Structure 1
Amino acid sequence: MLKNQSFVAIVAGALGVAICATAAAQTGGDAALVKTWKQAGAAKVAIASTPPYAFVSPSGEPQGYLIEVSQEVLKGLGVPKLTAVVTTWDAMIPGLQARQYDFLPGGMNITAARCQVVAFTVPVTAQQDALYVKPGNPKKLTGYASAAKNADARVAVLAGSSQEAYATKQNVPAGQLMRVPDIQSGIAAVTGGRADAFIVGQFSVAEPEKKGVERVVDLTSPAVGIALAFRKEDAATRDAFDVQINGLKANGTMKKLYVDKYGFNNWDLLARTNKATDIVPDCK
């Protein structure tokens, strides 16, 4: 009997520890950064102008899919709001490391190189890359490979983006690449005749036909995922975010945002993408 009682006590104790650990993760109890946000009343983030993911409205309010996901997570952690500063892609990670802001919800793809310097949450989008070209696709471009083979093709990419790195990896000559600071500049480069294609994520340009371009998804490009990025030393806060994000997936909140509000049409792929290592196997 005593052995049975001892066994029950051990199991009960283990369950108690597990429940406390889960509760701590759900509230960010062990995350110093979350405590700082609660005291300050807000988290500070950096974004680039990348509608529909993240942008600043004319009234100065941060908006977009990634902003709404971040706000839902913060609400679950007991943090009232976030404030945003606008920066460029190549300045995001250096600014994060310099503690100019707390995390990055600006639309950053998970890549092996970035995994070395930041801690990514579970993916909050899944997609492939696409070329945005003039209607009719005059150069008949279908992806990175066709751009690399066509010496006359001029390709715009976001400076410091994963698309810039992948274009180089796919042997698109440096002389054919045009680096632009934001999505609007990339679209303008195509419609203005300075570039034949602008390569970015397939959902990064909402209603492209209204902007004078058409979308050509590179079906040979690897699946990529966007996640929120933290400093490596803030991994405890990242872990708390993961708990909240997975909860949003499970309760249907994220699907309502992803599919119903923002019109992303590949929920099944995102639903199967549950951790950063699903995109980059050695990402920690």
Structure 2
Amino acid sequence: MRNNSRRMMALTATAAAATLALAACGNGNGDGLDDPPPVPGQEDEGNGDENGDANGDGGTLAELQEAGSISVGFAGEEPYSYTDDSGELTGATIALHREVFAAMGIETVDGTEVDWDALIPGLNAGRFDAISAGMSILPERCEQASFSNPEIMYTTAFMVPEGNPNDLHDMQDVEEAGVTFAAMNGAVEESYAQALGIDLMTVNTPQDGMDAVVSGRADVYALTGISLRAMAENNPDQPVEVTEAFEAVVDGEIQVGAGATVFRDADTDLLDAYNEAAAEIIGDPAEFERVLGPFGFTEAERPTDEVSTEMLCEGDLPTVEE
């Protein structure tokens, strides 16, 4: 959960990202009967789809609706998106996607697991249609792909040896202690360490990070608090503990963490329909708890109107109160 640091000022009120409403068209039969509620993103076929390509087809959304399935890329990070012991694709973002895509007329969600830093390249190469990993919305990532409205708020925590021998609780503690800091390759925590000039070790998976701490190759492993808590609970025999979550501060700016679903820039039809359908869950506390609650997410992780995709893509972050 988010920890309201004593150093943090309130977020400047920022207009929430506007959800692009798609036209609700009639059935075009001219029979005077009431039309059924439209599937989000489903245009009246008689009027065409302005999001289609130059050849006049319905675009990626229509193709996926016709196929009845969508492929998502994931990095195997619990509790966001991973395969369980039986090999079944599961996790909070997968649960969200199954609900949202079903509301869009896409019944099946298939997964392709890749390393974290291969998610956006794999998306743009067409290996899958969206990224289901709770990926942080960062300016450099927004230059490579399109993010949905925020879906998950999160903060950073540390996995450290039992007893926390170096007394590490935030990024400034790590900077001052001069210890070896492990972060997942391509994850936001890596960028924190690079910006602060911290001795950095990159790992490919969350398990690699825990192994680095247990073996003594790293003094601390950083990841989202909810992920590290899940790892610790699933590995009770490992001599590690997880610190209280915090909002990282880098160069005087609070690093607001918000995750979202990622799409190719060209797939505006898919992104717009997704935002519309997802708002029914993200905007409703009871629905958010119903869908993501089983994976440990609470109201503390539900986004509010104070943070928008536009704000995070522009790097418009709040500063620390002096």
In proportion to residue count, which structure has more helix? 1
What value does the CA root-mean-square deviation take over the aligned residues?
Answer: 2.4
| Pair 1:164–1:80, CA change in 2 (3 A) | same
**Residue 186 (1) aligns with residue 186 (2):** no
- Give the TM-score, by structure 1 length: 0.83
What number of residue pairs does the alignment pair up? 261
Pairwise mapping of residues 114-263 of structure 1 onto structure 2 (< 5 A)? 114-151=141-178, 153-172=179-198, 176-210=199-233, 211=235, 212=238, 213-216=240-243, 217-221=245-249, 222-251=255-284, 252-258=286-292, 260-263=293-296
Q: Bigger shift: 199-208 or 128-137?
A: 199-208
AA aligned opposite 2:149: V
| Pair 1:149–1:28, CA change in 2 (3 A) | farther
1:94 matched residue in structure 2: 121
3-state SS in 2 of match to 1:108: strand
**Residue 106 (1) aligns with residue 139 (2):** no
1:34 matched residue in structure 2: 61
AA aligned opposite 1:158: M
- Superposed CA offset, 1:224-278 (max 9, x none): 01100001111221111111111113453222233x3122244375244563134
**Identity rate, percent:** 25
Q: Distance in 2 between matches of 1:268 and 1:205?
A: 15
Q: State the 1:145 CA deviation.
A: 1.8
Q: Distance in 2 between matches of 1:83 and 1:209?
A: 28
Listed as ranges, the gaps of 5+ residues in structure 2 are 1-21, 27-36, 44-48, 52-58, 250-254, 317-322
- Give the TM-score, by structure 2 length: 0.74
Q: Distance in 2 between matches of 1:135 and 1:86?
A: 31
Q: State the 1:26 CA deviation.
A: 1.8
Q: Bigger shift: 42-51 or 269-278?
A: 269-278
3-state SS in 2 of match to 1:245: helix
Q: Distance in 2 between matches of 1:75 and 1:205?
A: 30
Q: Distance in 2 between matches of 1:268 and 1:224?
A: 10
Q: Distance in 2 between matches of 1:130 and 1:282?
A: 22
Q: Bigger shift: 42-51 or 188-197?
A: 188-197
Q: Distance in 1 between matches of 2:60 and 2:23?
A: 23
- Superposed CA offset, 1:99-156 (max 9, x none): 11101012211101001111001111101111111221111112222212222x1111
Q: Distance in 2 between matches of 1:155 and 1:163?
A: 10
